[in-house]
Structure formats: C-alpha cells, structure tokens
Amino acid sequence: MQSEFCFIRKSIVMRFHSPQNLKTIADFIDAKFIGSEDFEVLGTNEIHRVQPGDIVFVNHPKYYDKALNSAATIILIDKEVECPAGKALLVSEDPFRDFNKINTHFTRIYNFTEELHDVEIGEGTRIHHSAMIGNNVKIGSNTQIFPNVVIGDRTEIGDNVIIQSGTVLGGDAFYYRKLNGNFDRLISVGNVIIENNVEIGNNCTIDRGVTDSTVIGEGSVLDNLIQIGHDTIIGKRCLIASQVGIAGCCILEDEVTVWGQAGIASGVKLEKGTVLLAQVGVNRDLTKGTYFGPIAEDFRAYLKKEVKVRNLK
C-alpha cells in the first residue's frame, strides 16, 4: 500500500533572491560551464531535496549518476561528463568548496556574531529573557520559550509551541569531508521549522538543514535529550522519547513512536504508525510495524528467536 505521507515545503530556503544564470555562477566560482550561458539558476540544494532550478554538487564517480539523474537541473561536478538533456554542468576542481562559496555568498552566516534580528513574535507568546534568538526568526502566537533556549537564524516556530530549557534549534549540520588529514565542514545555510502544537523537552538539539529545512510536524512531542540531524522531517503527531538520536535526511511519517535510546541512521524512512522500542538500531527503511533489537527486527519475530536461543541452553 502506498504511503499517504506528503511533506509540502513551507519555505524554499536556499533560493536566490533573484534568478541567476549559468555564466554568472560559473564566473563567480571560476568554473567551466556546459549549457547555455543564460540557463536559469534558482538556488542550491542537497541531493535529498533537489528540484528543478537547483544546483547540486557531486565530487565522486560513485554518485555521478544519482546527481545527473536527480531533479536538479544544474550539476556542480569535478569532471566533464555527458550533460543530460535539459540540464547544465558546472565543472569545478573542487565542487564541495564551490558549493560552500555559492551558499555563503547568497546567504549570510552570522552565528550570533551580529544582533541584526528582524524577529516576528505572535500575540501571547512568552520568551524568557535568557533565551538567545538569532536573525530572521518567526515565532507564532501563544508559544512558550523557556530559559536558555537558543534559536538560530531563519528558524520558524508555529503557534502553541512549548520549547523547554537548554534546547538548541538551528545548530550546524554534521556534514564533513576529510581533506588533507583534517575535517572540512559543509556550511549549512538552511533552517528549522517547528509546526503548530509541538512540544520539545529539555536539552534537545535540532540541526538546521544544509540548504533546506529540518521539520518537526504539527502536534509532535519530543522528550528530553534528543538529537535530530539536518534535513530530517518528523511528521505530525510523532512521539519521541529521551536520548533518541536521528541522523540527517531521515523521514519519519505521521504518528511514528520512537522509545528511549533508539538510533536511526542517515537517510532512513519510517512508514506512518511505525513503533521503535527502546534501544533499537535502524539502518534501513521500515514499513509499519513494531521493531526491536540492535538491528531492527519485527518485535514478535525477535521474541520467537530469543525463545529458541534460550531453549538451546
């Protein structure tokens, strides 16, 4: 049965303020271009979220086909290859570096170094004086922000939201490459969206998207000490218990329940209504069901296996 889950993006974060063209971008990063010089460029995006008009980068032959056949229409690549019909190439000696260069040119990174603000706050919202709020933040009505909460640039928070003490919304994405023996960061210029009627516990960390949004869906409830990685989408009315770790680019459909200390690997999708019991490890997409074990198994199958193992003794 096909899933009914559908995420409709509320804001297209890494879209340029005005359309650019291929030659302008190529000149800016000193890259060769393949395609018409006036080919329209609307923004950038990470491979999991690309759409027409986006630049996506690829710097390893293993991923060439995925990038070239994605919805992105401009591919920033480290080798000249055959260009698919209707698309354009930017050929760069270092696509990772130049993706950063483009993103930080069109989106200014402040990281609380300048208090420019431009914050919208709805009626009836209460924010403790110790909370730290970044720039271009939107907070809805009747929302409560507890002490020592940090809200990063471009974060959007809905109505009737509760965010308890010590939580950080919009920290940097955990996205690196190894370069000359060191770790080189992919700079994240996305944001976090918290929809209406969400409750977030103490000391949670929700990273902003690389070029898009990390989303917590309407009516979802998060316990304390939860980590959610960049560009992950949590659906509506999900329940997530303490010490859960969810990596980047995951999708949890509506009404998913995740119990304590479960861990979910990058890029995993959980179908609507799925339940993960405590300390489950998830390394693949899961259909609706209840799962347990270090490598997620159907709960009943796991119990039967345990009974058989014990009977061998």
**Cα→Cα distances 250→75, 94, 131, 212, 284, Å:** 23, 27, 28, 13, 10
Catalytic residue among 17, 60, 117, 230: 230
Token pair in block for residue 300: 């009943």
The model's pLDDT over 139-165, given as tens digits with 9 standing for 90+, comes to: 999 999 999 999 999 999 999 999 999
Strand partners, 76: 57, 90
d(C-alpha 35, C-alpha 23), whole Å: 9
Tell me the HSE value of 282 on the side-chain side, using a 13 A CA sphere.
Answer: 33
237 in Cβ contact with 218 (< 8 Å):
yes
Q: What is the DSSP string of 251-312?
A: EE-TT-EE-TT-EE-TT-EE-TT-EE-TT-EE-S-B-SSEEETTTTEEHHHHHHHHHHHHHT
pLDDT > 90 fraction of the chain, expressed in percent and rounded: 85
The whole-chain average pLDDT of the chain stands at: 93
The model's pLDDT over 260-290, given as tens digits with 9 standing for 90+, comes to: 999 999 999 999 999 999 999 999 999 999 9
- Residue holding tokens 């909370």? 131
**Cα-based angle 47, 51, 57 (whole degrees, multiple of 5):** 35
Q: What is the pLDDT of residue 227?
A: 98
Question: Mean per-residue pLDDT for 181-206?
Answer: 97
pTM of the predicted structure, to 2 decimals? 0.92
162 in Cβ contact with 140 (< 8 Å):
no
Of 93, 57, 100, 66, nearest to 78 by C-alpha is 93
The model's pLDDT over 76-112, given as tens digits with 9 standing for 90+, comes to: 999 999 999 999 999 999 999 999 999 999 998 888 8
Which pairs with CB-CB distance under 8 Å and at least 24 residues apart come from 288-296?
none
Q: Is 129 a catalytic residue?
A: no
Report which of residues 114 and 254 the model is more confident about.
Answer: 254
Of 193, 195, 187, 192, nearest to 219 by C-alpha is 195
pLDDT at 12 over 60: no
CATH topology of domain 120-300: UDP N-Acetylglucosamine Acyltransferase; domain 1 (2.160.10)
Listed range (40-49, 81-90, 111-120, 164-173) with the worst mean pLDDT: 111-120
Report which of residues 40 and 304 the model is more confident about.
Answer: 40
The domain ranges of the chain are: 20-107, 120-300
**Cα→Cα distances 178→67, 184, 297, Å:** 21, 6, 34
What class, spelled out in words, does domain 20-107 have in CATH?
Answer: alpha beta
**Cα→Cα distances 79→34, 54, 88, 175, Å:** 11, 19, 13, 23
pLDDT at 3 over 50: no
